[in-house]
């Protein structure tokens, strides 16, 4: 333990936590509308492949601008995942299909969709991989605070890339939106009691669609991060099954955070730390056991949250239920 590098550990924990943060925030927004979308994993996959394909094709046609590559990645990751969420919305909101089944189907669909296109596009390339160039990867990985080499705390801040900041800003915005704005209040009431919201003149269908589709898009950004980040991802190359269960952890994190965007920050940090622990803390146990830790933590949190029953910490009341105005 003597050579334990705290700053290094924290840095890695934050970087590993960011995709979880995006997934969690997206799912919180979705669930606040009363839609339990279990397809986070699938949407992250779709975001990942879309976010990689954008800059990849841009580079293939000779594009060199870092900024355009990054923007293409962000926009396409968002749109691709939002498309998945849109399919889910049509099925569950308009056609009132079972949300659990549809969410699981979305995960299967998204995983297959991403692996197929990731590998199909890669096979057209001489290297047999869909891969973006170093400038693009750097844009996603380099710190934006310019404190390189300051040591200790400075190093920590220096390695924070723009996605970290984007995630934190998004969490802050969502917290303000849900807690302090009229639209947020309306959204919460849709998730709690759609019949009430409807009687109050709120367009329940529109709120559900928007929250689910935007939430899905945000999950997609988490997928983009995984595919682009070098330290806790795959660094700009399509790797089979690269999301690897992080979408499921995000679903669990929503419960850990008790549907609060600010607590989601803490949750993703903790889960991020657990997932990279074996590289920094040697407990003298087989490496495989470390990779179980996040899942064990999920189980513990689920038990703890279920036992501590505060009204404000409960899931939205109509979570998982379809709404039909003229139902009798």
- Residue whose CB is less far from other proteins, 185 or 321: 185
- How far apart are alpha carbons 141 and 219 in whole angstroms? 19
CA-wise closest residue to 219 among 18, 46, 23: 23
Number of residues that bind other proteins (CB under 8 A): 26
Q: How far is the CB of 217 from other proteins (least distance, A)?
A: 21
Task: For other proteins, give the closer residue by CB, 10 or 187.
Answer: 187
Q: How far is CA 3 from CA 81, 128, 280, in A?
A: 41, 40, 9
As given in the structure block, the two tokens for residue 121 are 């596009």
- Is 96 in a helix, a strand, or coil? coil
- The minimum distance between CB 317 and other proteins, in angstroms, equals 7
By CB under 8 A, is residue 285 in contact with other proteins? no
Q: What is the DSSP letter of 38?
A: T
* Options 18-26, 70-78, 239-247, 312-320: segment touching other proteins (CB under 8 A): 312-320
- Interface with other proteins includes 314 (CB under 8 A)? yes
Give the integer Cα–Cα distance in Å for 191 and 208: 8
Looking at beta carbons only, is 116 or 176 nearer to other proteins?
Answer: 176
Q: What is the CA radius of gyration of the chain?
A: 20
Which 163-222 residues touch other proteins, going by CB under 8 A? 180-183, 185-186, 188-189, 192-193, 195-202
Read off the tokens for 313.
């910490």
- Whole-number minimum distance, CB 189 to other proteins, in Å? 5
Tokens of 253: 């994190």
Pick 61 or 307: Cβ nearer other proteins: 307
Give the Cα separation of 243 and 226 in Å (integer).
7
CB of 308 to other proteins, least distance (A): 10
Q: In degrees, to the nearest 5, what angle opens at C-alpha 113 toward C-alphas 46 and 236?
A: 50
66/262 with CB nearer other proteins: 262
First and final C-alpha spacing in the chain: 64
Question: How many other β-carbons are positioned within 10 Å of the β-carbon of residue 38?
Answer: 21
Min CB(178)–other proteins separation in Å: 11
Nearer to other proteins, 51 or 194 (CB): 194
- Of the candidate spans 71-79, 81-89, 104-112, 311-319, the one that interacts with other proteins by CB under 8 A turns out to be 311-319
Q: Which residues bind other proteins (CB under 8 A)?
A: 180-183, 185-186, 188-189, 192-193, 195-202, 309, 311-312, 314, 317, 325-326, 328
């Amino acid at each position: 333990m003597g050579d334990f590098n705290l700053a290094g550990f924290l840095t890695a924990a934050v970087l590993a936590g960011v995709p979880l943060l995006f997934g969690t925030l997206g799912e919180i927004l979705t669930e606040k509308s009363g839609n339990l979308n279990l397809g986070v994993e699938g949407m992250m996959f779709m975001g990942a492949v879309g976010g990689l394909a954008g800059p990849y094709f841009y580079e293939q046609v000779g594009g060199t601008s870092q900024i355009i590559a990054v923007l293409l990645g962000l926009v396409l990751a968002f749109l691709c995942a939002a498309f998945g969420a849109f399919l889910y919305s049509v099925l569950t909101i308009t056609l009132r299909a079972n949300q659990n089944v549809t969410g699981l189907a979305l995960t299967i669909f998204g995983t297959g969709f991403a692996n197929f296109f990731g590998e199909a596009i890669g096979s057209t390339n001489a290297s047999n991989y869909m891969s973006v160039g170093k400038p693009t990867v750097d844009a996603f990985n380099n710190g934006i605070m310019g404190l390189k080499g300051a040591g200790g705390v400075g190093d920590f801040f220096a390695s924070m890339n723009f996605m970290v900041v984007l995630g934190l800003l998004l969490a802050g915005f969502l917290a303000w939106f849900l807690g302090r704005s009229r639209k947020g209040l309306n959204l919460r009431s849709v998730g709690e009691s759609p019949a009430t919201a409807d009687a109050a003149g709120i367009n329940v269908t529109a709120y559900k669609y928007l929250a689910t589709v935007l939430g899905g898009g945000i999950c997609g950004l988490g997928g983009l991060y995984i595919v682009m980040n070098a330290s806790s991802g795959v660094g700009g190359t399509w790797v089979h099954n690269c999301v690897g269960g992080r979408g499921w952890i995000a679903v669990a994190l929503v419960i850990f955070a008790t549907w609060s965007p600010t607590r989601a920050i803490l949750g993703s940090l903790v889960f991020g730390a657990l997932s990279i622990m074996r590289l920094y803390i040697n407990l003298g146990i087989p490496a495989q056991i470390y990779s179980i830790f996040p899942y064990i933590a999920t189980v513990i949190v689920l038990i703890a949250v279920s036992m501590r029953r505060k009204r404000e910490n409960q899931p939205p009341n109509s979570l998982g239920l379809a709404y039909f105005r003229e139902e009798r």
